Chains A and B, each alone.
Chain A
Amino acid sequence: MAMADFLVKAPSAGRGPIEYTHEDDALRIFGFWVFIATDMVLFASLFATYAVLYRHVGHGPGPLQIFDVTGFATETFILLTSSFTCGLSTYSMHRGQKGWMMAWMVVTILLGISFISFELSEFITDVAQGATLQTSAFLSAFFTLVGTHGAHVSLGIVWMTLILIQLAIRDLTPTTARKAFVVSLYWHFLDIVWIFIFTIVYLLGEMS
């Protein structure tokens, strides 16, 4: 769409990857990178809050009492793998292999769902032990930071599913390719955020 016929600065139109075919789509990809920058600062604020409050356990349990190494390690490896399969999906897209692309997306979604399930069961265990959002500042910060990431992943799952459907209906076009590429950026970004949750929340918790 956007009035982009005068966007002369787009180099080598038509020679780049499929998602950059139309300048308009290039514009959206660029916009999404900027969105990622805002989301990064959003997580920064949550990390800052966690860093300030994580020792404030009040009368509740501390990190050591509630973190379960196998649990969070499993979550981490699942999410890392999903980032890899998501990358493979983009890879297939660039080779025009729509079937593989969609297959890898399905794998990514399934991994995403299992990540969320593990996280939910972790939360449920915590709550069952009496470690809730209302218990202490540490737990408020913990559930909010990790939960915000989880909400992002859940949204990513829904989003990727929608794009999968559009791929099935509309085939691999520059527009659907752009959409798939953008959601892959989102997915990889969430993986980066998780790496820091893994380090600052869980590993640091194990060290305390």
Chain B
Amino acid sequence: MSNTTRIMAHVIPWYPDRAQSMDAVRGLVDAGVSYLEVQFPFSDPTADGPAIQAACSDALEAGFTVADGFAFLDEIRTITDTPVFLMSYASLIYRPGVQAFVARAREHGVAGLIVPDLPPDYDEGLYDACRDAGIACVPVLVATSADARVDLALSTKPEYVYVALRTGTTGSRTELGALNMGFLEKIGASGTKIFAGFGIQDAGQVQALAPHCEAAVVGSAFVRTIAAASGSGVYEAVKARAESLLDAK
């Protein structure tokens, strides 16, 4: 557990277009985020809230392809060593074959994969493939997950677990209530590192989470920042937003 505030920043390549999404990455890196979660847009992202879904639609409209996504990861590598986690949906991983997708992710320097609709018991071999490739497969849990589900996720011996803090999907304000905090304690006790997120919007939330997780995941807040700044300085806006979230004194 850490006492400094850390952020895993979520970005969507090609949102709102290629150049500006890379500007957003630069802003995040320069602000000092600890991890990047790069979401490859999928046409039907059922586990995302309206803000991220709309951004994914826009990215696909702007011409995003999976090949572009991997090229985007390569470009990130040229500017930073910040660990990159690739988040997407089963359809994109299953289409070329799970093994092939994982191998490709590894070649492009990905530290881990986050695929919410391939849970450990319906994973199509994802967990094994990641283990073989030496990259993390990050299970996603919610505070309402039954004990058996938690045990199953932890039985994969994950280096990281992603905890979705509110029941529901990303985008609305999260109260860090007793249920969430208790759940974070429980998962943390297993020794795994936790990414905790969904709906984080202000520095107070980041700070409240800091002692309980490896990093607070911030997603739709950056999507909104990018939407507002599109065409007029995404780099500066995202950097300022990330700095304000990290600046939790």
Bound pair (A, B): no
